[in-house]
């Protein structure tokens, strides 16, 4: 199985600057990693000591992947908001900056929120939620722009034991309605409008449309832009009005370690997005520990993760991970190319950012604009760079390392998922050399395994060696998702049934002889568009809702900037004709159904789809045609009508 790859030997030595504040060099990594597997309970009990527990846990790990039942620290009692906020104030660090807010408009007002202020803001937010009627265990939907109040809302829920479900601001009213309905959320927190690259996003209006479909008891509206919105009597409340007279003190609710903390909807290969459920204790320990070791955070540094709080990266590395560590996290409302292509670097310079964490799609799009945008700014405060969300191609890695990092500071390429709660595979800055394009080594407690289609083990940490296969994780870790909200069977089915007794990630991966993992991308029908995860089935369902569409098949194809683009094959109902107008209409239709992030790149009208004689769509062929790999279509003899393949090749869209 050993399949060496030329990239395996392309090694970038870790820069000396990286000798870690967390004290993890190569030897310590090896020892800690071994202990994290051999004495898992001892290792995690020790990590858990950095959390303030109301009742310290005595049971550490208690999990099984068959049947699926995952618990960590189960007899521990804590409140994660207390750990992220109050305890830093109590330790005399209240003056430290918790959040720096950089607005969309570069001349707008920067806000610096100290831990003491954060404590006050979160308590007021929590009391306002209570006044609205929110109680422990209730689901609260948060549909907010990238402003500190979004983080306040999340922490306020955690403070009172409510379960937050954050929805990215780029999702449509239908997507909101589906998620509100799925977790039976009676409350929505939103803002009048969001701002991105000077464009206004009608958040409240979207919520109104969603509520026409799925009514809720209360909508709390934060005034951000001052834009005009309709307020429905009895249901809608301005945050500044409702919060005006609430108490500034709000005790933190004691939570069992396994009490739910949040639900986050994510796409899979089939059906509607799943509400992945994370619980309190394990998630706290996991985000605290991964942030500490991977970013090697040092006192007073400014950490900037460019994700949105609507995605898991924002949950774990804008809000919980940094704040649990008492760090200063920067929150950026805008986009990388507004007002110009140097906005990121201008912000790094302006706020003296030390650690910068972004996605390959952003790196690729900025790379295209040339070096000058980077070199005109002073980036000398940067000490560490990070990448997340999709595979980073070696060329983009090099540009990031050399042009942004001046070949002096480490790059950590962190592989993880909504379901994993935090970083799973990465290099550690003080411990590992880097290989451009490889995510690196297994983090503490993580046991990756590569298996073939039949489940045969090809390589893992015990066997060592190189192989390429499907990536599974064979043991639980504290930050692992516990279930799909309201549908444990779906959780078991999706993640633990392909390879019984193992968590299957859905990703393909290669391990090299040095124990570095190279993620090759999804092996299921999930695509990764600009770092946004999407199920092709979701786009298909949206398309077939259109009255003229008979059938749709959606696949990903390589896209220079976005990583993957969305390619849709569409057949129309008898009597309906393809046209440019209809193409534009369908694009708009998908935006309306799911949101702008799902906008199709190509719509390819075709009289029929390639199907087997039993009626199964042959996606493999559709993928090849979209990828322009028409020379290697493989066996087409099982097709009911092989001629359709020729037609598809002739009419291909993205030549």
List the x/- string, 428-457, binding to ligand WTA by CB under 6 A: -----------x------------------
Please state the closest distance from residue 533 (CB atom) to ligand WTA, in A: 4
Is residue 132 a contact partner of residue 154, using CB atoms and an 8 Å limit?
no
342 or 468: CB nearest ligand WTA: 468
> Interhelix angle for 580-593 vs 536-544, to 10°?
120
Q: Which is nearer to ligand WTA, 465 or 508 (CB)?
A: 508
Q: Per rule CB under 6 A, is residue 417 in the interface with ligand WTA?
A: yes
Q: Which stretch binds ligand WTA (CB under 6 A): 78-86, 95-103, 149-157, 407-415?
A: 407-415
Stretch that binds ligand WTA, among 307-315, 593-601, 606-614, 626-634 (CB under 6 A): 307-315
- Specify the DSSP class assigned to residue 597: G
DSSP reduced 3-state for 532: strand
- Residue 413 assigned to a binding site: yes
CA 611 distance to own-chain centroid: 34
Residue 413 contacts ligand WTA per CB under 6 A: yes
- 141 binds ligand WTA per the rule CB under 6 A: no
Cβ closest to ligand WTA, residue 474 vs residue 528: 528
SS3 571: strand
Per rule CB under 6 A, is residue 168 in the interface with ligand WTA?
no
DSSP string for residues in 407-459: TTS-EEEEB--GGG-S--EE--TTT--B-TT--BEEPTT--EEEE-TT--EEE
Q: Given candidates 389, 405, 421, 610, which one binds ligand WTA under the rule CB under 6 A?
A: 389
| CB-based contact 387:397 (threshold 8 Å) | yes
**Residue 76 in contact with ligand WTA, rule: CB under 6 A:** no
Site membership for ligand WTA, residue 414 (CB under 6 A): yes
Structure tokens at 377: 């700014």
CA dist list (Å): 237 to 124, 189, 233: 15, 10, 8
Was 196 annotated as part of a binding site?
A: yes
Question: Which CB atom, from 103 or from 479, has the smaller least distance to ligand WTA?
Answer: 479
Q: Is there binding between residue 507 and ligand WTA (CB under 6 A)?
A: yes
314 counts as binding ligand WTA under rule CB under 6 A:
no
Among 310, 326, 506, 556, binds ligand WTA (CB under 6 A): 506
Contact status: 559 vs ligand WTA (CB under 6 A) = no
For residue 417, the minimal CB distance to ligand WTA (Å) is 4
Rounded Cα gap, residues 198 and 255, in angstroms = 41
Q: Is 390 in the site for ligand WTA (CB under 6 A)?
A: yes
Backbone angles phi, psi at 102, to 5 degrees: -110, 115
The answer to whether 398 is annotated as binding is no
Please say whether the dihedral angle defined by the alpha carbons of residues 531, 533, 536 and 540, taken in this order, is positive or negative: negative
Q: Which stretch binds ligand WTA (CB under 6 A): 47-55, 408-416, 483-491, 611-619?
A: 408-416
CA atoms within 13 A on the CB side of 79: 20
- Label the pairing between strands 503-511 and 517-522: antiparallel
Check residue 533 for interaction with ligand WTA (CB under 6 A): yes
Residue number with the smallest Cβ distance to ligand WTA: 418
Q: What string of DSSP letters covers 205-228?
A: HHHHHHHHHS--SEEEEE-SS---
Is residue 418 a contact residue for ligand WTA (CB under 6 A)? Answer: yes
Determine how many CB atoms are found less than 10 A away from the CB of residue 102.
23
Among 15, 103, 326, 391, binds ligand WTA (CB under 6 A): 391
The residue behind tokens 């392909």 is: 498
The rounded distance, in Å, linking the Cα atoms of 130 and 407 is: 51
Tokens of 586: 């369908």
Closer residue to ligand WTA in complex, CB, 522/546: 522
Binding piece for ligand WTA, criterion CB under 6 A, among 306-314, 339-347, 614-622, 635-643: 306-314
Q: At 234, phi and psi to the nearest 5?
A: 85, -25
Residue 337 Rama label (left phi>0; alpha psi -120 to 50; beta): alpha
Least Å from the CB of residue 304 to ligand WTA:
16
In angstroms, give the least distance from the CB of 312 to ligand WTA.
Answer: 5
Annotated binding residue 535? no
Judged by CB under 6 A, does residue 388 bind ligand WTA? yes
Could you tell me which of 223, 215, 77, 256 has the C-alpha nearest to residue 145? 223
- Minimum CB distance to ligand WTA, residue 498 (Å): 14
The answer to the question of residue 208 lying near ligand WTA (CB under 6 A) is no
Q: Could you give the CA distance from residue 303 to residue 297 in angstroms, rounded to a whole number?
A: 8
Confirm if 19 and 484 have CB atoms less than 8 A apart. Answer: no
Interacting span for ligand WTA (CB under 6 A) from 53-61, 86-94, 389-397, 634-642: 389-397
Binding site for ligand WTA (CB under 6 A): 266, 311-313, 388-391, 413-418, 439, 505-507, 519, 522, 528, 533
Residue ranges of the annotated binding site for Mg(2+) are 544, 546, 549
Residue ranges of the annotated binding site for CoA are 196-199, 313, 337, 530, 591
């Amino acid at each position: 199985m050993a399949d060496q790859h030329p990239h395996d030997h392309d090694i970038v030595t870790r820069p000396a600057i990286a000798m870690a504040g967390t004290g993890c060099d190569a030897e310590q990594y090896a020892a800690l990693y071994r202990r994290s597997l051999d004495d898992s309970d001892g290792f995690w009990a020790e990590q858990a000591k950095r959390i303030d527990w109301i009742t310290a846990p005595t049971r550490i790990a208690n999990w099984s992947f068959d049947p699926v039942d995952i618990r960590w620290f189960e007899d521990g009692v804590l409140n994660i908001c207390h750990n992220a906020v109050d305890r830093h104030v109590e330790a005399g660090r209240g003056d430290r900056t918790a959040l720096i807010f950089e607005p969309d408009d570069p001349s707008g007002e920067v806000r610096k929120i100290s831990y003491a202020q954060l404590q006050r803001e979160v308590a007021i937010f929590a009391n306002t939620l209570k006044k609205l009627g929110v109680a422990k265990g209730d689901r609260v939907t948060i549909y907010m722009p990238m402003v500190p109040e979004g983080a306040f809302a999340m922490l306020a829920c955690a403070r009172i034991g409510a379960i937050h479900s954050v929805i990215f601001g780029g999702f449509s009213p239908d997507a909101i309605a589906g998620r509100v309905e799925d977790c039976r959320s009676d409350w929505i927190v939103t803002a009048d409008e969001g701002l991105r690259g000077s464009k206004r996003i009608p958040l409240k209006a979207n919520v109104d449309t969603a509520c026409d479909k799925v009514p809720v008891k209360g909508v709390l509206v934060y005034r951000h832009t001052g834009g005009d919105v309709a307020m429905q009597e009895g249901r809608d409340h301005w945050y500044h009005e409702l919060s005006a007279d609430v108490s500034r003190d709000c005790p933190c609710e004691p939570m069992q370690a396994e009490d739910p903390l949040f639900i986050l909807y994510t796409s899979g290969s089939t059906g509607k997005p799943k509400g992945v459920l994370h619980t309190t204790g394990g998630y706290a320990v996991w985000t605290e520990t991964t942030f500490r070791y991977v970013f090697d955070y040092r006192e007073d540094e400014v950490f900037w993760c460019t994700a949105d709080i609507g995605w898991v990266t924002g949950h774990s590395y804008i809000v919980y991970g940094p704040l649990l560590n008492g760090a200063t996290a920067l929150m950026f409302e805008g986009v990388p190319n507004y007002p110009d292509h140097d906005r990121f670097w201008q912000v790094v310079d302006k706020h003296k950012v030390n650690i910068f964490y972004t996605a390959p799609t952003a790196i690729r799009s900025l790379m295209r604009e040339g070096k000058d945008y980077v070199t005109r700014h002073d980036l000398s405060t940067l000490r560490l760079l990070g990448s997340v969300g999709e595979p980073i191609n070696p060329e983009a890695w090099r540009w990031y390392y050399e042009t942004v990092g001046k070949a002096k500071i480490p790059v950590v390429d962190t592989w993880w998922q909504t379901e994993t709660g935090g970083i799973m595979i990465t290099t550690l800055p003080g411990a590992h050399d880097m290989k451009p394009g490889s995510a690196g080594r297994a983090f503490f407690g993580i046991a990756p395994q590569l298996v073939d289609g039949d489940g045969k083990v090809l390589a893992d940490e015990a066997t060592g060696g190189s192989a390429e296969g499907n990536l599974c994780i064979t043991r639980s870790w504290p930050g692992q998702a516990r279930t799909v909200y309201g549908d444990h069977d779906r959780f078991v089915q999706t993640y633990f049934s392909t390879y019984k007794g193992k968590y299957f990630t859905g990703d393909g991966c290669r391990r090299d002889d040095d124990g570095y993992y190279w993620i090759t991308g999804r092996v299921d029908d999930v695509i990764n568009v600009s770092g946004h995860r999407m199920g092709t089935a979701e786009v298909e369902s949206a398309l077939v809702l259109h009255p003229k569409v008979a059938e749709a098949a959606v696949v990903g194809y390589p896209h220079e900037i976005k990583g993957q683009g969305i390619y849709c094959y569409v057949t129309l109902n008898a009597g309906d004709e393809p046209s440019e107008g209809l193409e534009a209409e369908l694009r708009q239709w998908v935006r309306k159904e799911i949101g702008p992030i799902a906008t199709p790149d190509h719509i390819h009208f075709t009289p029929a789809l390639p199907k087997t004689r039993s009626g199964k769509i042959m996606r493999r062929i559709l993928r090849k045609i979209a990828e322009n790999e028409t020379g290697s279509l493989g066996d087409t003899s099982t097709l009911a009508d092989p001629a359709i393949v020729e037609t598809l090749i002739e009419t291909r869209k993205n030549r």
